[in-house]
Amino acid sequence: MKRALILFSLLLVFALILGACGGGNTNNEPAAANNASSSSADTSSAADTSTDEAMPEAKTETVVIGFTTSQTGSQNVSSVRQVNGLMQWMNAVNDAGGIELSDGTKVTFEAVTYDDESNTDRVQELYTRLATEDEADFLISPYSSGLTAASAVIAEQYGKVMITTGAASDDTYKQGLTTVFQAYTPASRYLTGAVDLLESLDPSVKKLAFVYENSKFSTDVVEAAKSYAESKGYEIVLFEGYDPETTDFGPFINKIQDSGPDAILGGGHFQDGSTFARQLNEKNIDVKFFTLLVAPPEPDFADLGDAAVGVIGPSQWEPLAAFTPESAQEAGLEWFGITSDEFVSAYEANYEGEEPSYHSAGGYVAGLILQKAILDADSIDPDKVKAALEAMDLLTFYGHIKFDTTAEAHGLQIGHSMVYIQWQDGDAGLAKQVVWPIEGATADTLYPMP
């Protein structure tokens, strides 16, 4: 018994040491989110005190924004980036003293967030908590389509306006929702641009292989892309999913090779996508064109080295994609918010040099959309904000934003579209280049891929 106790206290010490080490290492990502949220609390309280002094002339409203973060579990990385982006927006607005409405009211923001552990069990409980206990005025979605679908039920029940980001599936918006608005380009338009790109590069290519992770998001994407490709007269020589847990793509790649495609389109999420790309490279498969979902736009994809060269990926946003006030004028759209350069430098300054991915931009733009809607509505009344969102049609650093307002697909994003990047080995080493759409391209496509 005594020995057991000694051993046990040893364990505790050990756990504490490990915990301390862990705490030391976290600085890269999750801690950044914490810093952000704590600094947001600071700034909002600072804003409160400043309003006490300024009370006579203007009143201040603090708007609570609720969302969950996947602090743990498989979606941890993307989710934390998304929240970092959102917090950057919030801090910027609060630091500037909030949004000013026409009656002189200043609107500042406060964030409330919980860990959803990347799984749906508690999402509804946490969103109910946000909507009721924490009295969130507006909601932002969790990361991933599955969690978002569960949280949308709650948003709809309480009539809370929710901006979804990091959630691309079309399905959610076709179920009769009325208060949920999507910032991402929906899954059905994720890969169609890649087909256009291929067509413009090499009209002689006819054989495509679609290989994809057998999960909700990627299946949605490739099925839409497949029918698009077929309508363009492509021959689909292979259309096959792989299990999300797959680590060995060897047999799968042999099968691809056997079916002899000119181009491969598909993928799933980061982990399987980067594994797939690495093994495809190691096996020296001879394809001219290779597009993967999700993984290539991530800065970490560069870790693959040579295996990354030539890989193309759809992205919701890229630092290089130049949407500017001028391009807004040309397109006859209203411009709102900061430019991409401003976003990138502020983000890197806030998060210890971490390069923003499109998840970060998605988080930021979710806040930006809300800000614009409040400005347009000149109110924080949910119904007026909702009406402003329905009428929204603008260009931001993230691209065009416009929502479907029909009853069948209310809230679906119809303005924004994907950009396509390719990893190229240039003078400055391995880097992402935008290759499609042509108007935004920063380099010619490396074709056929090496």
Partner 1 sequence: MDFLLASVIDGLLLGFVYGIAAMGLTLIWGVMNVINLAHGPIIALGMFSLYFIFSLLGLNPYLALILVAVLGLLLGILIYFVAVHRVIDAPHLSTLLATFSVNMIIIGLGTAAFTASPRNVEFSLGSFTVGSITLLGTRLVAAVLALAVTGGLYLFLYRTRPGRYIRAVANNRDAAELMGVPSAQILALSFGLGTMLAAISGGLIATFFPFTILAGGVYELKSFVIGVLGGLGNPVGALFGGLILGVLEGIIPTFMPTTWVPVLEFGLFVLILLVRPQGLFGARK
Partner 2 sequence: MSGWRKYTGLIVTLLIVLLLTFWPLITGKDITRETIFTILLSVALASSLNILLGYTGYVSFGHVVFFGLGGYVGFYLLSVQGWSLWIAMLAGGAASAILAFLLGKAILRLRGGYFALATIGVNEAMRAFINNFEPFGGPVGMTLNFQVYRDYGGPAQALWLSFYMLAALTIIVVIISYSVRMSKFGLGLLAIREDEDAAEVMGVIAPNVKTWAYVLSAIIPGILGVIFFFKNGNIEPAPAFRLHFSIEMIVMVMLGGQGTVLGPVLGGMGYQSLRGYLLTSPLFKNIQLAVAGALLLIIVLFVPAGVVGWLRQRFPALRRVLQ
Query: Applying CB under 8 A, which residues contact partner 1?
Result: 4, 7-8, 10-11, 14-15, 18-19, 21-23, 25-26, 28-30, 72-77, 80, 214, 240-243, 245-248, 250-252, 254-255, 257-258, 270-271, 274-275, 278, 282-284, 300, 303-305
| Among partner 1, partner 2, none, residue 35 binds (CB under 5-8 Å by kind) | none
Supply the minimum distance, in Å, between the C-beta of residue 279 and partner 1. Answer: 8
- Rg (the chain; Cα; Å): 23
Q: Which residue type, as a one-letter code, is found at position 265?
A: L
| Among partner 2, partner 1, none, residue 257 binds (CB under 5-8 Å by kind) | partner 1
For the chain, the distance separating the N- and C-terminal CA atoms, rounded to the nearest angstrom, is 65
Q: Write the Ramachandran bin of 286: left for phi over 0, alpha for psi from -120 to 50, otherwise beta.
A: beta
Supply the minimum distance, in Å, between the C-beta of residue 30 and partner 2. Answer: 6
> Which residue, 148, 26, 41, 138, is CA-closest to 87?
41
Q: Which one among 93, 111, 149, 434 touches partner 2, defined by CB under 8 A?
A: 149
| Among partner 1, partner 2, none, residue 384 binds (CB under 5-8 Å by kind) | none
Structure tokens given for 192: 């169609």
* Residue keyed to tokens 């364990």: 11
Q: Does 156 bind partner 2 (CB under 8 A)?
A: yes
Closer to partner 1 by Cβ: residue 241 or 367: 241
**How far is it, in rounded angstroms, from Cα 132 to Cα 134?**
6
Choose the stretch contacting partner 2; rule: CB under 8 A; options: 51-59, 146-154, 231-239, 368-376: 146-154
Supply the minimum distance, in Å, between the C-beta of residue 450 and partner 1. Answer: 16
Closer to partner 1 by Cβ: residue 248 or 330: 248
Supply the minimum distance, in Å, between the C-beta of residue 13 and partner 2. Answer: 12
Q: Residue 423 — φ and ψ, nearest 5°? A: -80, 125
Eight-class DSSP state of 413: B
| Among partner 1, partner 2, none, residue 119 binds (CB under 5-8 Å by kind) | partner 2
Supply the minimum distance, in Å, between the C-beta of residue 241 and partner 1. Answer: 5
* Residue keyed to tokens 């792989």: 242
Supply the minimum distance, in Å, between the C-beta of residue 448 and partner 2. Answer: 31
Q: Does 71 bind partner 2 (CB under 8 A)?
A: yes
* DSSP track, 60-72: EEEEEEEEEE--S
Cis peptide upstream of residue 314 (ω within 30 degrees of 0): no
Length of the chain, in residues:
450
CA distances for 386 relative to 5, 51, 307, 410, angstroms: 60, 28, 46, 11
Q: Which residue type, as a one-letter code, is found at position 103?
A: D
Structure tokens given for 207: 């054989």
Which residues in the 171-200 window bind partner 2 by CB under 8 A?
Answer: 171-172, 175-177
**How far is it, in rounded angstroms, from Cα 50 to Cα 10?**
50
Choose the stretch contacting partner 2; rule: CB under 8 A; options: 94-102, 144-152, 188-196, 320-328: 144-152
Q: How many residues bind partner 2 (CB under 8 A)?
A: 48
Cis peptide upstream of residue 319 (ω within 30 degrees of 0): no
Q: Does 146 bind partner 2 (CB under 8 A)?
A: yes
Closer to partner 2 by Cβ: residue 153 or 309: 153
- For the window 7-26, what string marks contact with partner 2 as x by the rule CB under 8 A? -x--xx--x---x--x---x
**How far is it, in rounded angstroms, from Cα 22 to Cα 225?**
43
**How far is it, in rounded angstroms, from Cα 117 to Cα 97?**
33
Eight-class DSSP state of 237: E
Q: Which residues would be at the binding site for partner 2 (CB under 8 A)? A: 4, 8, 11-12, 15, 19, 22, 26, 30, 34, 71-72, 114-115, 117, 119-122, 124-125, 128-129, 131-133, 146, 149-150, 152-153, 156-158, 171-172, 175-177, 213-216, 219-220, 241, 243-244
